[in-house]
Every structure is written in C-alpha cells, then in structure tokens.
Homo-oligomer: A and B are copies of this chain.
C-alpha cells in the first residue's frame, strides 16, 4: 500500500466542483474520453443514466431506485440537490495479485437527490467512470425520513441496446456451480434445463429468466460487456432479471422473510459495475472492481502468502477414502466402507510429497468430528476444533513445519452458518494457536437458519465475519460455496481465493466440465476474483477409481490452467502417486502463485485463451494456452521478455495425436533457448493446451 498516499485525495477534493443544480443532465467521460456517462433526471424526477462508448450507446436510458417496506417505492419525484464531478488518479500496490501495481483512474459524478415535501427522503448516487467501465452505487445519507430501512426491491436497470449474446448461469440463490450457457439474452430461461435440483434444499432458482453475476455479453457491434458488483458489504447479492426489450434489472437475493436488505442509514449499496471493452482479453485485466473497494485494512500482512497446495481431497472425491471416520449411510461423506482419509499417517505421506516438490500448502479435509452427519437433516453436527482420534493435528502441524509445509485447515459447515458462528472464534483461535495460517471454508448444504440463502444478506454478513475473524487471527481464507467475490480481497487480503464455480471436483462424480468450460470461466466467473478451481489432474481418465467419470481435457491443458486460471492458492489436485516421476509435474513445481505482471496474448470467449504471467519479484515467466474442443495453432511473440536476457523455455505441449477424448494423456515436454522478440509456435490438440515456463539462464 506504499503508493497510496493522501495526495490523490487532496487532488480529488480540489478538482471536484459543485454545479448548477438546475441542470437535469450531467455528463462525465472516462479519463481517455472513450466512455461517456450521462445522468438524466427525468421530467417526473426519475434518476436515469446512459452509457456510451465512442458515441455508440451501450446502456440506454435506465432508471434507478428502490422499494422500501417502511416508506414505499423510492424512484421518482426527485430533485437534484447538488452535483459534483472530479477526477482521481492514483496507484496502489496489492499485497498479492496478477499485477504488481494497480492504476486507479476515473472521473466521478456524485449527486445528492431528494424527494419533495417537509420530510423528504434523500438518496445520493455516485458514478465512477473508468476507461474500461462504470461503477455506481446508491448512498443513503443520514436523514430523518429513512433510518432503519427494509429494502424489498432494488430497481437498478441496465437497458441494453440489443439482444446480446451472453455467457450466463442461472440466478440460483444458493449456488454458482453451473456450466455456462451461451445464448441470446432473450433466450435466458432455465425452465427446460433439467438441472435436477428440484428436491435439493441447497439450490433455488426463483426466476428462470435471471442470471447470476458476473454475466458477460458480446454485442453484435463487437463490444464485450460484463455486469457484476463491487464491495458487497452488509447487503444482499444481486442477480439480474432479463425482461423483454433487452432490459435487465437487479433482483436481490431475499431473506427467509422475503425482505432483501435490512439496513440503517447512513449506508451505501455495493457498486453496480459494467465493464465495456472492445476485446475479450481486456475484460481479464480490468481492475475496476478492485478499485471500487476500500484499501487494505490489515496492517501486518507478513503472514499472507500465496502458495501452491496439495490436499487430502481428490482421494475423497474418488472414493478412495472417506471424510468421515465412521461410515454412516446417507451421509455425503459415506464412501461405502472406504477408510478414513485424514489420518496422521496419510497427512505425513502428503507432507513428504510436498517437501520433495517444494509445494507449500497441504489441505486436509475430514480431520474434525461430525462428518458422519454431513448432508443429513441434523443440526450443528460439525465440531470445528476437535480432531478425529486418528488425526493427531499437533503432530501433523509439527511434522509439516519441520519440512516447511503449511497445513491448510478446513471448516466444512454443511451450510450451517449459524452453528459455525457459534464456534467461529474458538475455531480460529484453535488454528491460530497451532500456527495454521489458512483455512478452507465450505457451505455444502442448505443454509441454517433454514430459509436463508447462500447469497442473501445473512450469508454476506456471515462471510464477512469469517474474513474478519481470519484477519484477527492471521488466517487466510479460501471460501467454498461462497458469496461471490466483489473485490473484498483488496480490503481483506487474507481472502485469498474462492470456489463459487463448477470446479474440478465435478469431473469426479458428474458428467463433468466440457472442454469449453475452462475457456468460459476466465471471462465470466474469474472477473469476480481468484478461482480455487483445483487444476492439475494427470490421471485424466480415472480408470481405476471412477471408470464412469473422467476429466475432459488433455494433460497439457491441465498444466496450462495454472496460468489461465488466476488464484493465489493454486492446488496440485491429483494424487501424489500420479505426480511422482511424471516429467510434466516439473511445470507445477515451477509455476508461481503470485505475479508482477499479466499479459493476455489472445482470447476468444469459450474458445481459447493464452496468458503470460511474470512471477512476483523474479524474471520468470509462465505461459498457459488453452482451447475448447477445437484444435488450434498460435504464434506468440515473446515481446514481454527483458532485452538482452537469455531464457530457457520449458515447453509442455499436447502430443501429436493428443485429443481430450481419445488420447488425453499424450504430451511432449521439450525446451529451447528464447530471447525477447522470439516467436513461439503453440499447437493445441482438441480440448488441449500448452504450458511454457520461461526461466532466465543464470
């Protein structure tokens, strides 16, 4: 955070200026002049905005407002009390991330609005227009008319200019674990999708014509749009309803009682964000969402450490071992008599493997008591600080420490957030006292209190408590079945990675993820933040343990995912025995988990993606290139390398006859010397990929 001084804020203050309040229209431009935001107060006092790019409308006139339980609809009859505009330009240094330094440059428009009358309701709006998009939020100022307030609806509109092609998942209030659909907006409809979630208490799609965010679109004019939110704090998660006439409108995830948000003025909503770019790659390097979050609040960040990790995890999904010590029929952890996975002995086996391979983290799932009841209608069965008797956690942590391996703790709640809350501080103290510096949380099951939803305000609050508890006890968080990321990792850089995606595990026990899936999620889910996708499965076909399941990529693509999927916690997910002696494992050993620079070398949503990243503090580059079902060839220019330096490129590519379906494990590793400006020819098999390590010759 060294670059973030008071100066920019001074700059901000000096530049901001009040304007004549009689003007009902205000226009601001992005710093580069490409985007233009127009705020219009309609004749009936409805706050509205439009967004255009190089003169072409991207968002047509769209209204803003609310429905409040206490005082009714709040979206017309406003007058403008004041208008301020200004420019902010600063840079800041993230604790970790895909870039060393982040530029934050925008023009802002701030409006104070008020209804008429003696005790008028007041509502302020703040727009920040960046070169690559817009963020805006509602600010409820302190006022007499609105104190404690219940938001029943937020009416934020995004009036699109066409029936765009969209990559979307349903607006499930409980889960983001879906394959992306690719349809026109007008075709968003989950009615016939046969998701098989009718009887699942942990899935709920209220509106078949709505989507979760981020949702990404391509206009027929070739623009790329992505809609999401930033800094989701003490509010409900936003889904987007698709209405006739290309209108999208916010639909907040409700509480059990139907209310959307309980708040007390003054408060602000999360930022509603729209990325607008002319290439799909530019979506990936946008920092708009991070820039709309508050600066880092954690002073001592020395314990925060991006890392690679292994886990007693894939063997659980393959059914080799079980989460629970005692098998219990009907429990999700029941593997039909398989032995318990999280034993002291097994953990030491993984620790030895990690030590041999310089892999820092080890996740152990199923270490604590209660798994016998997971997935059953039983309350409060998990104990978050009592190990099973066959897991000597003190011994494991000690042994790990002796080999420079860090245990990653695990708190599966089964969705029982209230129960977790009741043990939260004790559970974090327990890990803290052991010296454990990271915890994977999980909410695989229906939320309790019953009726609350994974993405509602209840869980937003809960997840924040967990993050803050982590900050207090110096524990990094890797949240599974989370509330979506909205950039909070800037403020709490102990929030490392999240799931909230249909990850690798689906390949172990479902139809799995088709080759295109990993070519879509970088442009959709990953725009929210790091994904704990858990790549690196080398035994693609799972013949031994799951002959009816498999991974739908080539082996080389598994390697490329370490670069194309960004995460500061990057798992080497396969069994140690599938890595030992495997020449391709060298790439996983080498690849970094934290970066100084990221370049998108080519990108086609759902089709292909090639990313180059430079390791944090080193002159080492890594390239990952992936494709969907189509084979592809790319010529990549290494113009990002340092002039005059010689590098050795380790090339991990698909075998000549590789194919995700027929011949997924054929690969070739080779190497060559490269210099700045050289061209690398990549050849990707159907469903394949290529990974390249570019290490300076010392």
Residues of A within 8 A of B (CB): 355-358, 402-404, 544, 577, 580-587, 589-590, 620, 648, 650, 652, 655, 665-673, 693, 695, 697-698
Contact = CB atoms under 8 A, between A and B. Distances in A.
A580 B618 CA distance: 14
A665 B655 contact: no
B582 A585 contact: no
B586 A648 contact: no
Given A581-B693, A582-B648, A655-B670, 14 more contacts: A355-B404, A356-B356, A356-B358, A581-B589, A581-B590, A582-B650, A583-B583, A583-B586, A583-B652, A583-B670, A584-B671, A586-B586, A665-B671, A669-B669
Nearest to A576: B698
A356 B589 CA distance: 9
Which 4 pairs show the lowest CB-CB distances between chains A and B? A669-B669, A577-B698, A583-B669, A581-B695
A620 B577 CA distance: 13
A648 B541 CA distance: 14
A461 to B, nearest CB: 43
A585 to B, nearest CB: 7
B577 A586 contact: no
Contacts of A693: 581
Complex copy number for this chain? 2
Given A584-B583, A652-B583, A695-B580, A670 B671 contact: no
Contacts of A695: 580-581
Contacts of A673: 665
A582 B577 contact: no
A670 B667 contact: yes
A591 to B, nearest CB: 9
9 contacts: A355-B404, A402-B402, A580-B590, A581-B590, A581-B650, A582-B586, A583-B652, A583-B669, A666-B672
A586 B402 CA distance: 24
**A544, A577, A580, A695: residue with the most chain B Cβ atoms closer than 10 Å:** A580
Contacts of A589: 581
Contacts of A544: 697
Nearest to A620: B581
Nearest to A539: B697
A565 B613 CA distance: 41
Contacts of A358: 356
A585 B582 CA distance: 11
Max count, chain B CB within 10 A of own CB: residue among A581, A668, A697: A581
A583 to B, nearest CB: 4
A586 B584 CA distance: 8
A313 to B, nearest CB: 17
A615 to B, nearest CB: 11
Contacts of A672: 666
Contacts of A402: 402
B587 A583 contact: yes
B667 A582 contact: no
Nearest to A656: B670
Nearest to A652: B583
Nearest to A355: B355
Contact of A586 (B355, B404, B585): B585
Contacts of A669: 583-584, 668-670
Contacts of A357: 356
